[in-house]
């Protein structure tokens, strides 16, 4: 039996839109890319998410999500000292950052304001 990284109730973020689709990926799943989703069920082979009910082409009305379709566990904003940190994905290569790279920033300050145009907050 497979060892899964996540369990029922976990919040996860789906991978950014892939250049090369992983096995079992459908282009119709792209609308879920970089979105936060909740694991509803863990089967023998894949995850079922709450948010895609009625959207998937499988018999259960869901998409089947595999570990390589999940980018990372969704983290809420978190405190670091007295400041709040947020997670972002880089949407344009610039300032030494790479497309798709995950970065954590305090959403304030000169550095953040400089790179803000190339960032998209991961949690939607």
Q: Encode the chain in three state secondary structure.
A: CCCCCCCCCCEEEECCCCCCCCCCCCHHHHHHCCCEEEEEEECCCCEEECCCCCCCCCCCCCCCECHHHEEEECCCCEEECCEEEEEEEECCCECCECCCCEEEECCCCHHHHHHHHHEEECCC
Q: Which domain holds residue 20?
A: 11-73
Q: pLDDT tens digits for 32-45?
A: 998 889 999 999 99
Question: Is residue 6, in this structure, part of any structural domain at all?
Answer: no
pLDDT in tens, 95-116: 888 888 878 777 777 777 888 8
pTM of this prediction? 0.61
Q: In terms of domains, do 103 and 67 share one? A: no
- Considering the domain architecture, whether residues 16 and 64 belong to the same structural domain is answered as yes
Q: Are residues 55 and 108 in the same domain?
A: no
Q: Please check whether residues 105 and 67 belong to one and the same domain.
A: no
What pLDDT score does 116 carry? 83
Tell me what the mean pLDDT of segment 75-95 comes to: 70
Is there a single domain that holds both residue 28 and residue 66? yes
| 114: in domain | yes
Whether residue 38 is found in the same domain as residue 91 = no
How many distinct structural domains can be found in the chain?
2
Same domain, 96 and 114: yes
């Amino acid at each position: 039996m497979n060892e899964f990284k996540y369990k029922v109730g976990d919040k996860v973020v789906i991978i950014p839109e892939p250049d090369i689709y992983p096995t079992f990926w459908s282009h119709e799943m792209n609308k879920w890319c970089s979105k936060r989703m909740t694991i509803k069920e863990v089967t023998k082979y894949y995850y079922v998410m709450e948010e895609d009910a009625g959207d998937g082409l499988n018999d259960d009305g869901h998409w089947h999500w595999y570990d390589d379709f999940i980018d990372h566990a969704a983290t809420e904003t978190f405190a670091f000292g007295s400041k709040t940190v947020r997670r972002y994905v880089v949407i344009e290569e610039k300032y030494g950052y790479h497309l798709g790279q995950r970065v954590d920033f305090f959403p304030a300050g000169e550095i953040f304001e400089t790179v803000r145009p190339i960032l998209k907050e991961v949690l939607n």
